[in-house]
Amino acid sequence: DAGVTQSPTHLIKTRGQQVTLRCSPKSGHDTVSWYQQALGQGPQFIFQYYEEEERQRGNFPDRFSGHQFPNYSSELNVNALLLGDSALYLCASSLGGAGGYEQYFGPGTRLTVT
């Protein structure tokens, strides 16, 4: 039973560029949430996808967008990268929603913007 997987593991981009991060949920899960975790901070909620739609969004600008595919995998896209976007990006999967259900986190993608 595969857990949550994310790719790539590490990524280095230049300011102004665009990046796409990928996440495959745990087998049987249908909901994917994305988080940004700056060094020394707790994760910050970006958004959540369920049934291929964005169901809830945190306080992040429109430069952050996402997508969920019919197989429940998800992508996080960030446009016009800023130095402040450097962080560990975590994907978490759950069944039916985050509030009352266990979330399983992936290993994260470390994004460095130079």
Interface residues with another protein (CB under 8 A) are 4, 33, 35, 40-45, 48, 55-56, 58, 88, 90, 92, 97-100, 102-108, 110
Q: Tell me whether residue 5 or residue 20 sits nearer to another protein (CB atom).
A: 5
**Shortest separation between residue 37's beta carbon and another protein, angstroms:** 9
**Shortest separation between residue 80's beta carbon and another protein, angstroms:** 25
**Shortest separation between residue 71's beta carbon and another protein, angstroms:** 21
Q: Tell me whether residue 18 or residue 41 sits nearer to another protein (CB atom).
A: 41
Question: 3-state SS of 58-77?
Answer: CCCCCCEEEEECCCCCEEEE
Q: Tell me whether residue 27 or residue 79 sits nearer to another protein (CB atom).
A: 27
Q: Tell me whether residue 12 or residue 80 sits nearer to another protein (CB atom).
A: 12
**Shortest separation between residue 106's beta carbon and another protein, angstroms:** 5
77-82 long-range contacts (CB < 8 A, ≥24 apart) are 77/18, 77/19, 77/20, 77/21, 78/18, 78/19, 78/21, 78/111, 79/18, 80/16, 80/18, 81/13, 81/14, 81/15, 81/16, 81/17, 81/18, 81/19, 81/113, 82/15, 82/113
